[in-house]
Amino acid sequence: MSEKILFRQERNGGYKFNRETGKVEFLEDDKFNNEIQEFKKRNEGLDIISLPENSSEISLSAPLVIWHETTHACNLNCKECVRDKGHEKELNAEEISQIYADLASSGVFEIRVTGGEACLRPDIEKIVHAAKKNGLYVSLTSNGVYSSELRNKIVNLPIELYILSLDGTEQIHDSIRGKGSYSSTMDTIKALTQAHKNVRINTVLMQENKDCIEELVKILNCNGVSKLTLIPLRPWGSAVKDFHKNKLTPEQYMNVVKEVNELRKKYPGFSIATNYDIISTTNHGSNVPSHWSKMCMAGIEAACISPSGNLRACIVASGEGFNVGNLTQSKLSTLWHNDKIWGIFRDIDRRVLEQCKKCPDYTTKCPGSCIAMTEFSKSPQEMYCFKHLVA
């Protein structure tokens, strides 16, 4: 049985992770060591993972979070989906459990179960329980479109954080994700909040929904949800088609951020996270605390596992060219500490655009260029950057 508190050593200190709440805290060298000694004096249970001898100097000692695409199957066909539509061989629950044990022993904190639609897997309960058995904090990303029977099953799983997709009001959401999807997702949201579950909503920002953010906040607020993350449309999967027509312009994105800042004042108990929040006086952008303040986590703080066990850096950028190895054949630690195989994601000169490196907001209020978008556009400019409009 894993202890409630996990201490994980890094180069200049280490992380203290609460497996029950998901709280992550970075402690400098002396404080890190002192905290461990205090726990030992009080005879409180704790797990300690030391820094590997071969650890990378570019990345953390292990990912903070790993997205696990358990399947490519889905019950929707959304306009903005970044997933592959192929039918990759899926690992069974026993194989997944073995991988989760390896992740936990390497010091991974959180497994984010996703897809496709992960809840379509008949063994979803076994997958979640395998993660819990190995001491991983479990979050689920889902569209929330379930039958009544499936909804009851998902609500009663030991999942710490449910992340559901809702892209606007009923008319707008159904236009993007399919008729009837809004009603089913709202039923799931209500069932989760009534069961006192921790719920966050993800919304993909595009032309269709950029003007309904406050309406969405009101809907969520009335249904017991107080956390919303606004994600810019990315050029991958189904979203490639009509991407330039559907994505926001820099000026439109700036207007969204301005509106969000006003909404934070109007709804003080409601948390809204955005990516390019350079006009805010407070950092609202990160749901997982970044070791390097605020920047793209792919390949240095986070990773993704495909349905067949392939490991890659980014949940968005998929395909053979991004795979670094398979976790049914190699240990996470072997792959994670080999900088050469991670390509652009471990190349400090290439992973960040020159315009971002020179910007004072980079890593403080803005994560900089999205590597997946940079690879797609081959442009020296970040598509959503509106720094020139506020400077």
CA atoms within 13 A on the CB side of 188: 29
More confident residue, 210 or 350: 210
CA nearest to 2, candidates 100, 95, 68, 91: 100
Q: Residue 286 has what pLDDT?
A: 44
More confident residue, 87 or 365: 365
Q: Is 36 left (phi over 0), alpha (psi -120 to 50) or beta?
A: alpha
Give phi and psi for 219, each to the nearest 5: -60, -45
Task: pLDDT band for 391, please (50, 70, 90 cuts).
Answer: low
d(CA 297, CA 59): 9
Q: Residue 251 has what pLDDT?
A: 97
CA nearest to 108, candidates 188, 8, 183: 8
Mean pLDDT of 10-37: 94
Write out pLDDT tens, residues 72-122.
Answer: 999 998 887 876 666 789 999 999 999 999 999 999 999 999 999 999 999
More confident residue, 323 or 86: 323
Write out pLDDT tens, residues 200-225.
Answer: 999 999 999 999 999 999 999 999 99
More confident residue, 374 or 231: 231
Q: Residue 363 has what pLDDT?
A: 80
Q: Residue 354 has what pLDDT?
A: 86
Three-class SS string for the chain?
Answer: CCCCEEEEEECCEEEEEECCCCCEEEEEHHHHHHHHHHHHHCCCCEEEECCCCCCCCCCCCCCCEEEEECCCCCCCCCCCCCCCCCCCCCCCHHHHHHHHHHHHHHCCCEEEEECCCHHHCCCHHHHHHHHHHCCCEEEEEECCCCCHHHHHHHHCCCCCEEEEECCCCHHHHHHHHCCCHHHHHHHHHHHHHHCCCCEEEEEEECCCCCCCHHHHHHHHHHCCCCEEEEEECCCCHHHHCCHHHHCCCHHHHHHHHHHHHHHHHHCCCCEEECCCCCCCCCCCCCCCCECCECCCCECCCEEEECCCCEEECCCCCCCHHHCCEECCCCCHHHHHCCHHHHHHHHCHHHHCCHHHHCCCCECCCECCCCHHHHHHHCCCCCCCCCHHHHC
Q: Residue 353 has what pLDDT?
A: 87
Q: Residue 281 has what pLDDT?
A: 59
Q: Residue 362 has what pLDDT?
A: 86
Spatial contact of 119 and 150, defined as CB atoms under 8 Å apart: yes
Write out pLDDT tens, residues 252-286.
Answer: 999 999 999 999 999 999 999 988 888 875 655 44
Q: Residue 86 has what pLDDT?
A: 64
